[in-house]
Structure 1
Amino acid sequence: MNVVLADILRPLSVLATAALLSLAGCASQPDYLFIVPNVKDIATSQDPAPAYRNAITAAPVSGGKDVSILSIPYISNADFQESLVRTLANAKLASTGNGRFRLDATLQLDQPFLAINTTVTAKIAYRLTEVATGSLVYERLLATEGTVTYFEVPAGPERMRYANWRAVRANLRLLVGDLYALPEPPTSSPRT
């Protein structure tokens, strides 16, 4: 009977060791690398209106937390900012300097206290304004979920971290789709 139990536990210990090694590799990478979504399929299926192409500057973001409270991981403003900037760049929406449009973003993560399968909801309020006129072009609160199961990541804090990444990554991807769907803005004169 002990030989059978050992044969059952051996593959599980190998899987647990592999999972821990993969987590160790992720821990050395900055969080924003895991947050930036793949937007290539959006970019190939449609184009943004010409006015938005390479014309959006990401303003400093808010809502992130630089410290974990009670060992519950969060996303820092620095990682959120970098992931937003890289997402806009990958979507060919980011301006290399001061763009015609300014995108403000405020992050809120709704995290469970304890969960076997962890689902985090990312709520991000976006506001896109034309810099010269102050005209509001786009304003929306997007809510997306990221779920990570116990079998994917057994360690609770790391499971929460992965769920955070998935939720925000899905949100940024949804934002790109929305920005690509915006109509060409009317020409307007600068505010006085």
Structure 2
Amino acid sequence: MIRQLGLVFTVLALTFVGACASPPESPYMVPPLAGTDTTRGPAPAYRDAITVGSVTGGKDTTILHMPYTSNADLRAALVQTLIRANLGRAENGRFRLDVVLQRLDQPFIAFDTTVTATIAYKLTDVATGAVVFDKVLTTPATAKLIEMGVGSERLRLANVRAVSANLQRLVDDLYELPDKNLSTSLPLSQDLVSR
């Protein structure tokens, strides 16, 4: 009898752990870049020139076990967003983008769930150490009860949307950066001259 109860508790525990595991959310955080003129793109100095540096502040869940955004998901979404926007490269970019997820303001209980993402971005010229962009962006997003009946999944959806909106704002702001003179921090290689 005790052995059977132990087996039941083990199965229930494994079922609970399996239910808590969720697939990566990063693909859903990548904004569609709607309204962004990716054909115009960024100034030449920033085109395919930004590599993601440190990404901090994320976590899988809050202390109340509410879904949050992990550093890994945020990093993956950020890398894909920059590449799609013609801003990013996997490594050795002229610029390094460091990111801090400062907070996700989440309601404890809500039918229509609104989450506000606050993310700090710092873009540094690797060669000179000059900071060329340093900004905190705040974006809200809502998931409605009609879209997702389960509260935790509705909160997860609102998290994803809030981060996606934040990444969209980041791209829009980076597209507004004025061009930089390449000769101020990098020697003109034949490759650069040919461009």
Q: Which band: TM-score by shorter chain?
A: 0.7 to 0.9
One-letter amino acid of the structure 1 residue matched with residue 142 of structure 2? T
2:175 is matched with which residue? 180
Q: 1:42 aligns with which of 23, 32, 36?
A: 36
What SS is found at the alignment partner of 2:170? Answer: helix
2:11 is matched with which residue? none
1:95 aligns with 2:89: yes
- Evaluate the alpha carbon distance shift between residue 77 and residue 96 of structure 1 in structure 2; reply closer, same or farther with a 3 A threshold: closer
One-letter amino acid of the structure 1 residue matched with residue 122 of structure 2? R
The Cα RMSD (Å) is: 1.7
- Report the CA distance between 1:92 and its aligned residue: 1.1
One-letter amino acid of the structure 2 residue matched with residue 43 of structure 1? D
* Counterpart Cα distance in 2 of 1:96 and 1:79: 16
* Counterpart Cα distance in 1 of 2:56 and 2:172: 22
1:53 is matched with which residue? 47
What SS is found at the alignment partner of 2:55? Answer: coil
Sequence identity percentage: 53
1:140 is matched with which residue? 135
Gap regions ≥5 residues in structure 1 = 1-26
What SS is found at the alignment partner of 1:164? Answer: helix
* Counterpart Cα distance in 2 of 1:176 and 1:61: 17
One-letter amino acid of the structure 2 residue matched with residue 89 of structure 1? I
- Contact 1:71–1:157 (8 Å) recurs in 2: no
TM-score (norm 2): 0.79
* Counterpart Cα distance in 2 of 1:162 and 1:176: 21
1:19 is matched with which residue? none
- Evaluate the alpha carbon distance shift between residue 45 and residue 54 of structure 1 in structure 2; reply closer, same or farther with a 3 A threshold: closer
* Counterpart Cα distance in 2 of 1:44 and 1:84: 16
* Counterpart Cα distance in 2 of 1:157 and 1:91: 31
* Counterpart Cα distance in 1 of 2:106 and 2:63: 12
Count of aligned pairs: 164
1:64 aligns with 2:75: no
